[in-house]
Amino acid sequence: MGGSSSLTIALGQMDVVPGKPERNQARARELAARAREAGADLLVLPELWLHGYALEHAAEWADPLGEGGFAQMAAMAREFGLYLCGSLLERHGGGVSNTAVLYAPDGTLLGAYRKIHLFRLMNEPRYLVPGDRAVLCPTPWGPTGLLICYDLRFPELARTLALAGAVLLLVPAQWPVRRLEAWLLLARARAVENELFVAACNRAGVENDVVFPGRSMVVDPWGNVLAEGNGDEGLWVARADLREVQKARRYLTVYEDRRPEAYRVAGGTGDPQGTG
């Protein structure tokens, strides 16, 4: 890295083929090689990038942390000298979870986050066990939070991570084109309202007549889109100056102006003080 205040982020937008881990692994390696050539520090891959969304096979395809796909990610981080993030199916004592991980360039696991908000339209509650805690990863550029796809719709989770010190949120996703406007809006909203960076990597391609639009993004604390993918497979790279986080927070004092003690709903009498 060129200094802890500067971070070059690569978004590896893939067409994830369900049940074809060899193909998906090869594609991820190609993107990792390109990210290294581009001088990236961090590569973000899509949600469930190795096996895809055929969740009826989740129990068969899932691995414990440190094994299978997780071991492959750690090895890829070491081989290409990158911080590496993406989500995989994790098997654990309670069942199977959709788990986002962040590895350091030496292969060290910096954090593992089990998706808290399961998406009913993709039958996630039928096959997966939700996580029960937010995760903040230590990095040289500052605390980094992990979200997965549908989590973007829950501002409480992003704000919890921001209040705990997050300067960057990483969001692996498989977000379909029919809700593209929500994707574009929510990624920027989470960055602006929390005055931090968001790096959101969506998949591309078509699966069972569902179109995935890509449009992966890096957004700065002011809401500026620093890099945005198109609808194809590819790599998009942006340089993030982490000093912008503190600049934004000094200029617009959102955190100092919060009043959580007043965030309660008054009675339905029309009296703003709730006194009746």
Average pLDDT of the residues in 86-101:
98
Q: Which CATH architecture has domain 6-259?
A: 4-Layer Sandwich (3.60)
Report pLDDT for 73.
98
Query: Can 115 be counted among the known catalytic residues?
Result: yes
Catalytic residue among 115, 137, 233, 244: 115
pLDDT in tens, 231-260: 999 999 999 999 999 999 999 999 999 999
Report domain extents, the chain.
Answer: 6-259
Rounded CA separation 121/272 (Å): 38
Average pLDDT of the residues in 47-76:
96
Q: CB of 24 within 8 A of CB of 52?
A: yes
Query: Can 137 be counted among the known catalytic residues?
Result: no
pLDDT in tens, 154-172: 999 999 999 999 999 999 9
Strands 204-207 and 210-213, sheet pairing: antiparallel
Rounded CA separation 254/154 (Å): 19
Rounded CA separation 19/31 (Å): 20
Give yes or no for residue 267 having a pLDDT over 80: no
Catalytic residue among 90, 124, 137, 149: 149
Report pLDDT for 2.
46
Report pLDDT for 271.
60
CB-side neighbour CA atoms (13 Å) of 25: 16
Poorest-pLDDT segment among 17-21, 82-86, 251-255, 269-273:
269-273
